[in-house]
Amino acid sequence: MTKTLDLKRLRADFPALEKSMRGHDLIYFDNSATSLKPLPVISAVEEYYREYSANIHRGVYEMSGRATMAYDRAREAVKRLINGTDGTGELIFTRGTTESINMVAAGWGNANIGSGDEIVISPLDHHSNIVPWQQLARRTGAILKHIPLTAGGSITREAVDRTISSATRFVSITAMSNVTGHMPPVDYIVERAHAVGARVLLDGAQFVSHHPTDVKALGCDFLAFSGHKMCGPTGIGALYGTMDALEEMDPVQFGGDMISRVTKDDAVWAHIPERFEGGTPNVAGAIGMGVAADYLSAVDLGAVAEHEKVMFHRMYTALRELGGITIYGDPPADGAEDFRGGIVSFNLDGAHPNDVGTLLDQQGIAVRTGFHCAQPLMDHFGITGTVRASFYLYNTEEEIDRFITALQRIRPLLS
């Protein structure tokens, strides 16, 4: 049974929400860029640096042992969040989604992609899930294919059928757009890709932090996501992979902790996941990400998704009623299965998005403006950027009402 969010209690966990901005109570609507951090995460990172700031897997002394145990517990906590603890896969700590995707493009792609092979991506994706595959195609002579979008920027099953072919070797697709919140039919994409023997990576940067995630149910070969978008620290993320997919992947960083034996002329790699974690890791970040995973599990991500659905529809309806605004993305249908994530991207007619964002900042409202690292999608819409409001578990409907009032105030200044 899905819980109901206790917003008053939750908001008390986030000290940033006690601050003001430009003399107003802060409204933080830039959660797609990064989330605010709760006290348990802040305390865990501080505790590591204050009490046992040692390296892991190397020292026989107490502090190192404590750090190693905390790091290993964090890995298990993050795996539990995505239901990846059945032993058929493994979780690798990285610097974030970008590094995770690049690691697969280089480590798996270089070893398994050749001239004439097809790599399937989409214009919906973040640059971090486009550019690594462009580079892999250039290195190998592979063919890069894009799943076509509807006019509103969605991916349909029919478009997937037209794109994936018997020559497809790899598919990399977002689980949720960072611009419109559109969630492609990833279950169908995985099914179609596996039917032709292709591997699939899901960019879960926007999805994992907002929705219950089950890697076994998704069926993907790889899942990449970041700690800082799910209440954790910056500079830490994860790549989850099935063991058979990871065994096909070469390491891309070489050095300490990723080897089991080195001679003057050769080296033998360590077991997975250490094989892919060369060098001193971000121990504090991993610990913080683990605490964030436990925090979100306790809150219930099903409740978070339901809350954001309410927030999205309130914002979407209010903007439509306000008029003189273009909202990007196909209109949401009534059914829950057609729900877009808690992101609304729009433009105020006749106004530059940066001007809108600057005037909202003057009223204590934080939004993101620009092309959101998604220029192919901006090209699809025929624009250079948008204003983006994105919600999370601590945002309230009252904040949306204040946001709409702020837009009404600034409109005469921009006409």
Q: Which domains does the chain have, with CATH numbers?
A: 7-30+301-414 (3.90.1150.10), 42-298 (3.40.640.10)
Residues present in the chain in total: 415
Query: What pLDDT, on a 0 to 100 scale, did the predictor assign at position 3?
Result: 74
The 3 state secondary structure assigned to the chain is CCCCCCHHHHHHCCHHHHCEECCEECEECECCCCCCCCHHHHHHHHHHHHHCCCCCCCCCCHHHHHHHHHHHHHHHHHHHHCCCCCCCEEEEEECCHHHHHHHHHHHCHHHHCCCCCEEEECCCCCHHHCHHHHHHHHHHCCEEEECCCCCCCCCCHHHHHHHCCCCEEEEEEECCCCCCCCCCCHHHHHHHHHHCCCEEEEECCCCCCCCCCCHHHHCCCEEEEECCCCCCCCCCEEEEEEHHHHHCCCCCCCCCCCEEEECCCCEEECCCCHHHCCCCCCHHHHHHHHHHHHHHHHHCHHHHHHHHHHHHHHHHHHHHHHCCEEECCCCCCCCHHHCCCCEEEEEECCCCHHHHHHHHHCCCEECEEECCCCHHHHHHHCCCCEEEEECCCCCCHHHHHHHHHHHHHHHHHHC
**Mode of pairing for the β-strands spanning 118-121 and 168-174:** parallel
What are the pLDDT digits (tens) for 241-298?
999 999 999 999 998 888 989 999 999 999 999 999 999 999 999 999 999 999 999 9
* Dist. CA 393–CA 400, nearest whole Å: 14
Average pLDDT over residues 332-339: 58
Write phi, then psi, for 204 (nearest 5 degrees): -100, 20
Partner residues linked to 365 by β-bridges: 27
Distance of alpha carbon 310 from the chain centroid: 21
* Dist. CA 161–CA 271, nearest whole Å: 38
Statement: residue 231 has pLDDT above 70: yes
Average pLDDT over residues 370-392: 98
What are the pLDDT digits (tens) for 128-144?
999 999 999 999 999 99
* Dist. CA 31–CA 28, nearest whole Å: 7
Average pLDDT over residues 364-390: 98
Partner residues linked to 201 by β-bridges: 172, 222
Query: What pLDDT, on a 0 to 100 scale, did the predictor assign at position 336?
Result: 45
Query: b vs e for 325-360, b when ≥16 Cβ sit within 10 Å of the residue's Cβ?
Result: bebbbbeeeeeeeebbbbbbbbbbeebebeebbebb
* Dist. CA 13–CA 119, nearest whole Å: 43
CA-to-CA dists, residue 255 to 56, 109, 251, 260, 270, angstroms: 15, 21, 10, 11, 11
* Dist. CA 85–CA 304, nearest whole Å: 23
Say which residue the tokens 């080897």 belong to. Answer: 259
Average pLDDT over residues 172-178: 98
Average pLDDT over residues 196-215: 98
Asked if residue 186 lies in contact with residue 213, where contact means CB atoms within 8 angstroms, the answer is: no
Distance of alpha carbon 344 from the chain centroid: 16
Active site residue 220: no
Query: What pLDDT, on a 0 to 100 scale, did the predictor assign at position 339?
Result: 64
Q: How many CB atoms lie within 10 A of CB 413?
A: 10
- Between 55-64, 221-230, 272-281, 328-337, the lowest mean confidence (pLDDT) is in 328-337
- Among residues 144, 322, 373, 383, the one annotated as catalytic is 373
> In the chain, pLDDT over 90 holds for what percent of residues?
93
C-alpha closest to that of 356 among 312, 326, 397: 326
Write phi, then psi, for 389 (nearest 5 degrees): -110, 125
